[in-house]
């Protein structure tokens, strides 16, 4: 019995070590400077002007809002902003700021010119958001002393800082919060060519031999997302080291990604399960989100936030007033003939 416990403990430690290694590798692949950041040329040009102007005026730049799908580099850009300015970097997230005091404790400790990064800023609690308005605009927080009618607000000046907010759901931001950002940028999915550049850079940092065809194979299955491209590269590297000669070419990459259930469009097991359920169980839909989630044994939030954005962007699924519908492209991707015309009147992803 003790041996079993020791084996389980050793296995848990091994998994923890592997997870920590993955996180360290992912951090090592992040670009450190703006010129190292691949893709998003328009955003990089605009941001470089904002930062250079601030440095010439010797003042913190305007607050920055970055929006876009997960994995496009919003956190990396926030770190780059601090590096380019030569200032400190603090990081938190919207869900962690439940009370005004949580935010007050953070901003009151900021040094002049520091960058405060709030990930998922659309999920910040309303009391903290209202305090953030004053902190962003006047560099002041009001500390409430006492309770009830006798409570008193004591203004506390804070050092000028730059807030960088990141959001995957810009439509959920309130108007007053959005208006307080001096520079907003929307980050688009990467092209296959841009992802190939990301992969060649990452392969060099990881010391993984890769040829252009191998990089193209991985890039085509990376869903337009650098984070996914880097993750797939590490898995292809593992396959190449164990079952091939260590080099990543087109054949090795395709075989590795087949082992990890990533098809030629970049769909994984859950994506394909959603398509299979829509097409085979519900004859292409329409079907409600909750029913679809039960069919694939997942939470509705997982289906809606993890699977649907890419399936919709790829033209495989449409959101209609009556529910989710598989498009003719989805039928063809599964090797089936579409049943006939499909009603694909879409809904807005931010408001549906």
User: What are the beta bridge partners of residue 143?
Assistant: 154
Query: Per-residue b/e over 108-140, b at no fewer than 16 CB within 10 Å?
Result: eebeebbbbbbbbbbbbbeebbbbbebbbeebe
Q: Which residue has the tokens 């900021």?
A: 110
Q: What's the rounded Cα separation, in Å, for the pair 159 and 138?
A: 10
Assess whether the previous peptide bond of 286 is cis (omega < 30° from 0).
Answer: yes
Pairing of strands 152-157, 183-186: unpaired
Residue 166, phi then psi, degrees to nearest 5: -125, 140
Cβ pair 200, 210 in contact under 8 A: yes
Q: Is 92 a catalytic residue?
A: no
Pairing of strands 323-326, 162-167: unpaired
Around Cβ 187, how many Cβ atoms within 10 Å? 19
Q: Is 55 a catalytic residue?
A: no
**What tokens does 132 get?**
């953030």
Catalytic residue among 227, 237, 272, 319: 227
- Whole-angstrom CA distances from 25 to 19, 31, 96, 214, 233 are 10, 12, 26, 20, 12
Q: Is 313 a catalytic residue?
A: no
Catalytic residue among 74, 180, 231, 272: 74
Phi-psi category of residue 42: left, alpha or beta, with phi > 0 → left and psi -120 to 50 → alpha: alpha
Q: Is 74 a catalytic residue?
A: yes
Q: Is 119 a catalytic residue?
A: yes
| Nearest residue to 106 via CA among 98, 116, 121, 94 | 116
Catalytic residue among 168, 225, 252, 327: 168
Length of the chain: 352
Catalytic residue among 4, 33, 62, 75: 75
**Residues designated catalytic:** 74-75, 119, 168, 227
């Amino acid at each position: 019995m003790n041996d079993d416990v020791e084996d389980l403990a050793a296995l848990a430690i091994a998994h923890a070590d592997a997870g920590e290694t993955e996180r360290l590798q992912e951090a090592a692949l992040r670009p450190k400077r703006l010129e190292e950041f691949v893709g998003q040329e328009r955003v990089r040009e605009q941001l470089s002007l904002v930062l250079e102007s601030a440095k010439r005026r010797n003042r913190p730049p305007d607050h920055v809002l970055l929006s876009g799908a997960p994995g496009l580099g919003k956190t990396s850009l926030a770190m780059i902003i601090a590096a380019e300015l030569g200032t400190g970097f603090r990081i938190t997230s919207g869900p962690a700021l439940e009370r005004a005091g949580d935010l007050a404790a953070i901003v009151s400790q900021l040094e002049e010119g520091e960058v405060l990064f709030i990930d998922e800023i659309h999920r910040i609690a309303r009391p903290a958001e209202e305090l953030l308005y004053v902190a962003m605009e006047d560099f002041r927080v009001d500390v409430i002393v006492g309770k009830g009618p006798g409570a008193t607000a004591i203004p506390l000046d804070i050092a000028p800082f730059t807030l960088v907010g990141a959001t995957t759901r810009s439509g959920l931001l309130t108007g007053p919060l959005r208006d307080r950002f001096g520079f907003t940028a929307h980050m688009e999915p990467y092209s296959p060519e841009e992802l190939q550049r990301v992969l060649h850079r990452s392969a060099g940092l990881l010391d993984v031999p890769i040829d252009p065809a191998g990089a193209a194979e991985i890039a085509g299955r990376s869903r337009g997302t650098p984070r996914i491209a880097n993750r797939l590269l590490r898995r292809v590297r593992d396959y190449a080291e164990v079952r091939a000669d260590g080099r990543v070419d087109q054949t090795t990459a395709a075989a590795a990604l087949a082992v990890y259930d990533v098809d030629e469009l970049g769909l994984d097991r859950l994506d394909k399960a959603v398509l299979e359920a829509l097409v085979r169980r519900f004859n292409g839909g329409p079907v409600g989100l909750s029913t679809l989630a039960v069919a694939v044994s997942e939470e509705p939030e997982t289906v809606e936030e993890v699977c649907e954005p890419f399936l919709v962007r790829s033209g495989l699924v449409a959101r209609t007033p009556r529910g989710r519908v598989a498009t003719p492209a989805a039928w063809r991707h599964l090797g089936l003939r579409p049943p006939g015309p499909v009603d694909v009147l879409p809904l807005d992803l931010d408001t549906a």
